[in-house]
Structure 1
Amino acid sequence: MKKLILSTTALALTAGLAMAETVRMGTEGAYPPYNFINDAGEVDGFERELGDELCTRAELTCEWVTNEWDSIIPNLVSGNYDTIIAGMSITAERDEVIDFTQNYTQPDPSGYLALMGADVDVKGGILAAQTGTIQAAHIAASGATLVEFATPEETIAAVRSGEADAVLADDAYLRPFAAENDDLTMLAETELLGGGVGMGVRESDGELKAKFDAAIQSMKDDGTLNALLAKWEIGPGF
């Protein structure tokens, strides 16, 4: 899914968890259905349900912390929270800075959202994406013109304003906008990017990683992860 463009200064940050009694779960809170803030002001969505269940199975006490996407890895590394559970795809570039658990989603197609009736050239047009995502990296390498925005909502607004021909993001994020708005539509083209989504942890926190790996595997084995993916309409199951 998303891919941060990391600075060399961020790469140098280090911190240790030391297996604190409370594990702080870092998320963005702005990317439904993976994670969002509900009307009660609480973190909600697929990853909230998943994270709470993983913490129960791992016998950990967890609390939720929100952080803007563009600094979510540096703030993990510097110790502001202990995991990232924020729709983050496992990539080789990120794996140089942090460790990942095994994936809890399969690679999910990214789709293009455009204005109804628009003639969009996804190879040479002007395409919007959230800053630091694998979708932004794909556009930049494709020959199309990339316009980046700090939040996913701003990418939709750019399509409506005519600043971008289409937005590229996770299909599970974009499709509800097309279903609920007569002026927007999903294009036929899709892109399969990334290696599935996993939890990010600091490289020094091998014990914590192992606990979450075992919990994810147990959810795969008993079918509860597939049920949760189906509930939130996120990609294929395992």
Structure 2
Amino acid sequence: MKNLILTTAALALTAGMAMADTVRMGTEGAYPPYNFINDAGEVDGFERELGDELCKRAGLECEWVKNDWDSIIPNLVSGNYDTIIAGMSITDERDEVIDFTQNYVPPAASAFAAASDGADLSGGVVAAQTATIQAGYVAESGATLVEFATPEETIAAVRSGEADAVFADKDYLVPIVEESGGELVFVGDDVPLGGGVGMGVRESDGELRGKFDEAITSMKADGTLNEMLKKWFGEGTATYGTDGSVVTN
């Protein structure tokens, strides 16, 4: 799941607001199958379906707001929307600035994809989306990191030869690799990062977080969340038991 590294500017933002009549759901709209913009110009994907159901169960009126990934936390904190529901992994670093609901996607792996299985992951050039802990992981690995604003650009860098490999959420990479006709392959070992994907809210919005936590718990308990996970990520994806524990399929 996508992992934002917080900037100093984000840490400085401290605005908050009471829970509004209409809850604005902030997402990137560029990270399928989590979220994307469909042909009608609307937010679509797993998180759109999930978010609409959570709002229904919580008794909330919700609307969707698109925001670029690299400013998604600062714009939550400054009040441009009320939640982040954008494939965001729960991390201690983020939790210093915002609060999270419980996860609605279990912890999963990040992976490397390359044009050949001989790609040099330790000393070569590896692409990652800017402001992610995938990027941070690469920077500390000894490889040369090249960062891009969007996930699509990281894939393009491998295809053009600008990068030897891309490092990203495996859930994001799987359909791209499968549809590449052999142009891209997975290389190296999967790398577990993050604590699962959750909704981000301002630290002052504990009531709102509580409403969404209750809704997520109910979806885990009745199996609805598992149905959505399998629909968007495949039958082999990790799911939840009725008690919220993670089930590896």
Shorter-chain TM-score above 0.5: yes
2:239 aligned partner, one-letter code: G
For residue 232 of structure 1, give the secondary structure of its aligned residue in structure 2.
helix
Aligned residue number for residue 145 of structure 1: 144
2:229 aligned partner, one-letter code: L
Runs of 4+ with deviation above 4 angstroms: none
For residue 104 of structure 2, give the secondary structure of its aligned residue in structure 1.
coil
Deviation at 1:118, TM superposition (A): 4.6
Deviation at 1:177, TM superposition (A): 1.2
Gaps in structure 2 of 5+ consecutive residues: 241-249
**185-194 or 124-133: bigger deviation:** 185-194
CA contact (8 A) 1:77 1:98 kept: yes
Q: Normalising to structure 2: TM-score of the pair?
A: 0.92
**16-25 or 186-195: bigger deviation:** 186-195
For residue 103 of structure 1, give the secondary structure of its aligned residue in structure 2.
strand
Number of residue pairs the alignment of both structures matches:
237
- 1 or 2 for the larger relative contact order (CA 8 Å, sep ≥6)? 1
Deviation at 1:5, TM superposition (A): 2.6
CA contact (8 A) 2:117 2:186 kept: no
Aligned residue number for residue 134 of structure 2: 135
For residue 219 of structure 1, give the secondary structure of its aligned residue in structure 2.
helix
Structure 2 distance, partners of 1:224, 1:134, is: 30
2:127 aligned partner, one-letter code: A
Structure 2 distance, partners of 1:79, 1:24, is: 10
For residue 81 of structure 2, give the secondary structure of its aligned residue in structure 1.
coil
CA contact (8 A) 1:126 1:166 kept: yes
1:111 aligned partner, one-letter code: A
Aligned residue number for residue 79 of structure 1: 79
CA contact (8 A) 2:109 2:190 kept: yes
Aligned residue number for residue 236 of structure 1: 238
Structure 2 distance, partners of 1:30, 1:7, is: 21
Aligned residue number for residue 9 of structure 2: 9
Counterparts in 2 of 1:198-237, with a 5 A limit?
198-233=198-233, 235-237=237-239
Deviation at 1:53, TM superposition (A): 0.3
2:77 aligned partner, one-letter code: V
Q: Deviations over 1:89-130 (max 9, x none)?
A: 000000000000000011111111111x35112222211000
Q: Deviations over 1:167-207 (max 9, x none)?
A: 01111111111111121122252111111000000000000
Counterparts in 2 of 1:62-101, with a 5 A limit?
62-101=62-101
Aligned residue number for residue 45 of structure 2: 45
Gaps in structure 1 of 5+ consecutive residues: none
For residue 89 of structure 2, give the secondary structure of its aligned residue in structure 1.
coil
**8-17 or 91-100: bigger deviation:** 8-17
The answer to whether the aligner puts 1:180 opposite 2:182 as a matched pair is no
Structure 2 distance, partners of 1:102, 1:177, is: 29
**164-173 or 72-81: bigger deviation:** 164-173
Q: CA RMSD in A?
A: 1.1
For residue 198 of structure 1, give the secondary structure of its aligned residue in structure 2.
strand
CA contact (8 A) 2:87 2:198 kept: yes
**Percent identity of the aligned residues?**
73
For residue 25 of structure 1, give the secondary structure of its aligned residue in structure 2.
strand
